[in-house]
Every structure is written in C-alpha cells, then in structure tokens.
Amino acid sequence: MKPLLRCFVLAAFAISSISAQTFSIKGKVIDDSNEVVAFANILLLNATDSTFVQGTSADEQGIFNLEDIAPSLYLLQASYVGRASKPLALDVKNDISLGALIIPAAAQTLDEVVVTAKRPTLERLSDRLVFNVENTVVSQGSSWDILRSTPGVIVNQEDLQIKGQSATVYLNDRKVQLSGQEVKDLLEGLSGTNIKSVEVVANPPARYDAEGGPILNIVTSKNIIPGYKGSVNGSFTQAIFPKYVIGTSHYFKTDKLSLFGNYSFNPKKESLQVDKGINFINDSNDVFSRWSTDDEQITDSQIHTATVIADYDIDGRNSLNLTSNLSFNPDQEWRRNLDAVILDGQNQLDSTFVTDNSGRRDRTNLAFDVNYMHKFKKEGAQLSLNAHYTDYGKASTQNILSDYFDATGGFSRSFGFRTDANQDIQILTGQADLYFPFGTTSLETGLKVSTIDSQNSILYSNFLGNSDVVDSSLSDDFEYNESIYAAYVSILKSWEKWSVKAGVRGEQTNAEGISRTLDVVNSQDFLSVFPSLNVLFTASESHSFSFDYDRGVARPRYNDLNPFRFFYNENDFEDGNPRLQPNFTNNFNLNYTLNNEFFFDLYYRDNGNYISDLVFQDNNLLVLRQLKQNVLESTSYGIDFTLSKSIANPWFLYAYTSIFHEDETFLAVESGDIPATNSIEGFYVYLANYLTLSEDGSFTGEVTFTHFSKYLFGSYVQSPTTNLTLGLRKSFWNNRAVISIAAEDLLGKANGTYTSQYLNQDNFYFSQPETQFVRFGFTYNFGNFRLEDNERTIEKKERERLENQ
C-alpha cells in the first residue's frame, strides 16, 4: 500500500480552479391524455440547423434533466417509439424548469430534424481541438477517413501522428485496444455517419495515463431512441492483389437494456516489395563491399473481429456495462524471397545468394471490461468503477534457407534454420474515477492499479550449414512482470474570458524483466509525477489563445524487451533489447485561433531518452542489425497552420501545413560507441477538398493532396513523398444505402526512400506496400436505422504496448 499512498500524497498538490458556466433544463413528459410517458427520449437540438446537441431519457415518472448546456438558442423535443412532441424553442441563459412536454397519440416523424451535407467545424477548447463532423460531407466515409481528414493529424506509413508523435486512438474516451494495421481495419469498418466529432488532444490532462502521447478521441452520437437497427457493409479493393472486407452490426435498445453486436471478416493477400542497399566501409573509410537486395513478400491473413456490448440501466442513478472485444488472426502465412547481389569495391560481381523466408503465425487478442457508474444526487457528480482483463497469445514458426553462389554462378554453400516462438500476455487492471462539481469548480480524481505478466520463449533448431551470427544459443525464455499504481486529481475553473484546467498524476512503477539465457535481470522501481496545465483565453468572438503543457512517459513495448532475433536472412535481422528504459517527455503548445477558421500552433517538445528504431551495419561481420535503443537526447519543435473555410457553396477546404525540426542523438554502437546526431528541417502539406455535388447532399466528392518534404525515422531520413487521392460517395433511399469509390496514390509517389549515412554507416531501403489501389464500398442500413451506435472499445494503456506486427 505504500506506493499507492505516495501517489495519493502527490495527487493532492493539484491547483485549484473554477468550471465553465453551463445550465440545466428540467421537465416532465406526458401524453395528450395527461398520462406519464416513462423513459421517453429527450433531444436538444441546435435552433439554427436542427442538428443534435445532447440527449437523455426520462425516468419512471417521466421526469428528465439535461445538464452542462452552454448558453445558446435550442429546440427541445421528446420522443417515444416513433411519436414526438412539437419542438420547443428555448433561449438558454440560466437554469430552466419547464412544465410538461406533450407527446400526441399520432406519430410525428423526427426526419425533419436530420440535416445532411452540413459544413464541418473546428472548435478550440482549453485542452483539445474539436473537429465536429456529424451530418457533414466528411462523415459520409469511414472512421478511418475522418481521422485522416482531421486537421492537425499526419498519416505517415499508416501511422497517425500529431506534431511528430504517434497518436493513441480512443472511442468515446475509451482506448482502442489494437495496434498498427488492426486499428486501421477496425476504423475502416466503422461508419462515419455515427461519428459526432473527433477530439485532438495534443497534451492529455491528468485523468489520462501518463504513457501514450497525444490522443485522437472519436466521439459517437448518443443512443436516444428505443428500437432495433442493423447494417451490412463491405468493400472490395483492387491493388496488386484483390481483397475484400465484409461486416455486419446489430443494435437493440429497450428502456433499460442496450445490446450491440458487430462482426467483420477481412481475408486479404498483401504484397510488399523492398529494395535494400548496404555499402560496407573499411577502416580507411573506403567502400569495400556493396550489397543490394530485392525482397518480395506475400502475406495471407484471415482476420476475424467481434464486439459484444451490453448496457443496463439499473435505475436512474446506477448503470452497468459489459464489453468484450475479440480478435482472431489464425493461420497467417508469409513467404519472402530475397535475392542479393554482392559487388566488391570496384563494382565487380563478387557473389550472390537467395533466401527463402517463410512462416506461420496464430494470434488471439481477447479483452473484457466491466464498468459500473453511479450518479450522486448532486447534479453532475458521478463515480465510475472499472475492471479489465486481457488475454493475448501468439505462436509463430519461421523457416529460413539461403543458397550462396560465386561470381560465375557456381554453388558455394547453404545455410538454414527454424525458429519456434510463443508469447502469452495477461493484463489485469482496476480503476476508480470520481467527478464532483461544487459551486463553480469541478474536481476530478481517481485511482488505477494494473498488473502485467508476459511470458515469452524462442527456440532455434534444424540448423543446416554454419554461420557466425546464428546458433542455438540464441534460444531463450524471457519473463516480464510489471505493476503500476496511479492516482490523479485535476481541477477546472473558468472566468468570463479565461479557462484553466490543472492537474497532477502520480505513478509508482515496479517492473522486472528476466532473460534466462543471457542471465540478465532488468529491474525498475520508481515513482514519477506528471503535471499538466491547460489555459484558454478568449479575447473576443474572433480571437482566442491557448497554452498547454504536460509531462509524459513512454514505456517499452513488451515485445521490444524480448532479447530475441527476427531474421530476414542470416545477415539482416532485428534484435530485442531487455535493457530498454522508460523515457520522459515535456510538451509545450501555444495556439492562436482567428474566427474559428485560421489556427496557428507553435510547439516544443523535449523527447528525453526517446526509444528509437535504429539500424546499424557491422562492417566486420557484414551484417545489418535493427535495434531498439534509448537515445541520448531528442527534441522537436515547429509551427502548424490550419485553414478551415468554405470557399464556395459546394466547396469546403481544409488546408494544414506544418514546418518542423526533428533531431535525436544516439550512441553509434557500430562506430566506436560515439554519439551521432540525426536532424532535419522539413514541412508537411495537406489539402482536403470536400465537394457537395447535389442539392440534397446525397452525392459528394473529395480530392486530397498530401506532400511530405522529408521526415526522421531513427537513424534514417525519409525522402519526399506525395499522395493524390480522389473519392466519390452516393447515398440512396433516404440514406439507407451508400456506395463509394476511391482511388489512392494516383501519382505513384506515396512511398519514400529511407537513407542512413553517418560516420562509417551507409545503407538505405525503399519499401513499397500496396498504396496504389481502387476501392469500392457499400453500406446498407435496415430497421430503425436513424439510431446511433453505442459502439465502444476498451480503454487500457497496458494493451497498447502489445507487439505491433
């Protein structure tokens, strides 16, 4: 209990503050016979365009209460099973206590309050930028399309980044517990029509885990109407290999119970082509051997993803949620053919070799969440209790066989081996969060405990021939155990023009990694404090300024800590590093907003001992080794400019430009262990043009242009890349059906060359996945399809550090 007590003490140092001024609306719902309508749904709509703002449900006596309403003009409407009251106009300037909203016996459709093809908007809050997309042209795509279109977000090699850092994706403030390609697959199957907004949180406040960097939080529209709806969707992609995705979702809601189920199947065959070159350098700084490799990889996967969610309202103050996310990727197979040509220092052919690298992988990712919510009698006060369990397993086999030939083509030798690897990770967490407003101040505080048990093994066998770098001693067992105790407190305060949110989080970390073969034990026992501050000054309706700061931590992924080697061939491999240490960052942002159309962001980040992907060539053994390593120091800074503006009636433009500096200094382990610095100055341009091509908004188009001047990836510098994308969408039958077509990477310049040149290092690679393709998509909604999804995912930071292959 001592670490937990220390966190409590640290959390008590938060700075006091006052919350923004909002109001409430209370009332009752009856029918035209003066009978109470229990559990009726209450809709608060914008008076200007009738778009959804907020919703709730009445209790058993028909009484409802809407809270946290900003001053403005609204329409208020009650509905129940297809019947609706007349919209009531309200000018909210203070708390409102209404009489009764009357729902007549005759049905009144709600379709009239649904608006399509509205323009998206940007809104700057004290701690985040909100991209409002509900019922806009942007929302007609998938959730992945919306994230790619969000101002301030950079997509690089399918990695979502904010100001040079990889972003963590949340759904309704709950972490999406997948990584890499799995996140993209999930979001491509989630329709954008269910998305209300995307929140860009560059420096997360204290309630979020200190680990994880910037956040992209997808906010879906709320569940407001009982009934059933379902959908089927799919897409067909023609790239080098054709591939498809099919899925179905079903949602059912009663007065107390909400059920959601989703399943998707994504079988795909993918091609990856890599050209790699190495110039090996002797002690006289002369190139004595030149290696070039053509690597062609084909991967077959069959990914099954399922989500089951049950929400139960016990009564007006207590609710229970059960969530299960299941992901299966059985029998994934890959085959890599590597052809290498070796020249001497005079560019004369020395020898060649070919490698057949094949393998199979089974992966299972199961996550279960239980969440209990209690609302206190005091308006706005609530307590949330959460328990989470993850069971992650992976088993893989790999077979490598290389044949070597001399300059005349004569056979020289063969070398081969087999690896069998297993990984089993168990994650268990418990969390409690309390939100309590008092007067004009809002207090948020909470506790979290997490434990991780990771068991890993690798076995090398079936050796054919001899090698200086591969032998059976590489077989190993690695065990990693981690416990984290955390507590936080944050306070929000607002004045007429100022808003301040300040908080502090304390985390006690106890961890131990044990390599049986290397006989290495890596122990960590430390307490860290993570303060955060967000300040917003609204000078006028046209001008606002904000400043935010936070301190964060990045812990190594479990897979990176394994001291195992993954081989492309015997001379080219990735090394795990059990000596990796957590690194701490300090992030500063200064922002200016003009008319909610022009956004200027100035940022600086001390990345500390950043965990970087570094690649080193051994000029003696003639091998290329990829290694995770804590750098000595790293900094990032730059200025971003965003334009959000309607150019003409059918044309809306987002223009995002970033001018930045990146540097990192690392230990050059194959160059005498001396420090080496890699740095760049670059820029990024993103232009998204949204076109409404029909009067009713059912036909839309999109033209997107992206250009990267260059970027820093550890010891590599990426060459310029350009991507041009075109897309069209058409909805039918009052939005029950949507079809789309998109063509990406029309110029064929979306992939860059990565070059590492310093001291006695000189190597490069060009990686070309299937970025050029045409995709056809469809969605069909049935039932009461105007219901909004309650789709969620499970928020657990510990799961994010699962391996990313």
Could you give the 3-state DSSP secondary structure of residue 373? strand
| Neighbouring-strand partners of residue 718 | 711, 754
Helix (H) or strand (E) holding 514: strand 498-515
Q: Which of 93-107, 208-222, 729-743 has the lowest mean pLDDT?
A: 208-222
| Neighbouring-strand partners of residue 165 | 162
For residues 745 and 725, the answer to whether their CB atoms sit within 8 Å is yes
- The predicted pLDDT at position 791 comes to 47
**Which residues, including other chains, have CB under 8 Å from residue 166's CB and lie 6 or more apart?**
159, 160, 213
Please give the average per-residue pLDDT across 269-283, as a whole number: 94
For residue 149 the two structure tokens come to 């279109």
Residue 285 has pLDDT above 50, yes or no: yes
Closest alpha carbon to 593 in 41, 9, 152: 152
- Tens of pLDDT, residues 212-234: 677 778 776 654 456 788 888 88
For residues 478 and 563, the answer to whether their CB atoms sit within 8 Å is yes
For residues 289 and 280, the answer to whether their CB atoms sit within 8 Å is yes
Dmax (CA) for the chain in angstroms is: 98
- The predicted pLDDT at position 156 comes to 63
* Residue 103: other Cβ atoms inside 10 A: 25
Could you give the 3-state DSSP secondary structure of residue 433? strand
Pairwise CA distance, residues 664 & 679, whole Å: 7
- The predicted pLDDT at position 664 comes to 93
CA atoms within 13 A on the CB side of 533: 13
Residue 406 has pLDDT above 70, yes or no: yes
The number of helices, as runs of H, and strands, as runs of E, in the chain is 5, 47
- The predicted pLDDT at position 202 comes to 76
- The predicted pLDDT at position 192 comes to 61
Q: Which residue has the tokens 């590599």?
A: 716
pLDDT band at 668 (very low <50, low <70, confident <90, very high): very high
Please give the average per-residue pLDDT across 676-685, as a whole number: 93
| C-alpha to C-alpha distances, 446 to 77, 353, 452, 458, 640, nearest whole angstrom | 36, 59, 20, 40, 34
- Tens of pLDDT, residues 531-566: 999 898 988 888 999 998 999 888 887 777 878 888
φ, ψ for residue 5, nearest 5 deg: -65, -40
- Tens of pLDDT, residues 74-102: 888 887 755 778 888 888 888 888 888 88
For residues 343 and 352, the answer to whether their CB atoms sit within 8 Å is no
- The predicted pLDDT at position 139 comes to 58
Pairwise CA distance, residues 315 & 321, whole Å: 13
For residue 525 the two structure tokens come to 């026992």
Average pLDDT, rounded, for the chain: 83
Pairwise CA distance, residues 664 & 452, whole Å: 30
For residue 206 the two structure tokens come to 């204290």
- Tens of pLDDT, residues 52-67: 777 777 777 888 888 8
Residue 355 has pLDDT above 90, yes or no: yes
- Tens of pLDDT, residues 110-148: 333 333 345 566 777 767 778 777 656 555 556 777 777
Helix (H) or strand (E) holding 587: strand 583-594
pLDDT band at 362 (very low <50, low <70, confident <90, very high): very high
Single-letter code of the amino acid located at 493: K
Pairwise CA distance, residues 354 & 401, whole Å: 8
- The predicted pLDDT at position 6 comes to 45
- The predicted pLDDT at position 643 comes to 87
Strongest mean pLDDT among 79-88, 324-333, 415-424: 415-424
- The predicted pLDDT at position 790 comes to 47
Residue 11 has pLDDT above 50, yes or no: no
Residue 5 has pLDDT above 50, yes or no: no
Helix (H) or strand (E) holding 9: helix 2-11
Phi-psi region of 139 (alpha: psi -120 to 50; beta: other; left: phi over 0): alpha
Pairwise CA distance, residues 586 & 634, whole Å: 11
Residue 688 has pLDDT above 90, yes or no: no
- The predicted pLDDT at position 35 comes to 80
Single-letter code of the amino acid located at 293: T
> Where do the H-state alpha helices sit in 117-211?
143-149, 181-188
- The predicted pLDDT at position 438 comes to 80
pLDDT band at 294 (very low <50, low <70, confident <90, very high): very high
For residues 81 and 144, the answer to whether their CB atoms sit within 8 Å is no
φ, ψ for residue 740, nearest 5 deg: -150, 160
φ, ψ for residue 113, nearest 5 deg: -95, 5
Pairwise CA distance, residues 726 & 206, whole Å: 40
For residue 729 the two structure tokens come to 């969408």
For residues 380 and 67, the answer to whether their CB atoms sit within 8 Å is yes
- Tens of pLDDT, residues 580-620: 888 899 999 999 988 878 889 999 999 999 888 899 999 99
Please give the average per-residue pLDDT across 39-58, as a whole number: 75
Residue 186 has pLDDT above 70, yes or no: no
For residues 574 and 590, the answer to whether their CB atoms sit within 8 Å is no
Could you give the 3-state DSSP secondary structure of residue 368? strand
φ, ψ for residue 483, nearest 5 deg: -130, 135
For residue 759 the two structure tokens come to 């001291």
Single-letter code of the amino acid located at 627: L
Pairwise CA distance, residues 659 & 266, whole Å: 38
* Residue 300: other Cβ atoms inside 10 A: 15
- The predicted pLDDT at position 3 comes to 46
Residue bearing the bigger pLDDT, 105 or 423? 423
Percentage of the chain modeled with pLDDT above 70: 85
Chain centroid to Cα 333, Å, comes to 26
- The predicted pLDDT at position 324 comes to 85
- Tens of pLDDT, residues 158-169: 677 777 677 777
Q: Which of 122-131, 279-288, 294-303, 700-709 has the lowest mean pLDDT?
A: 122-131
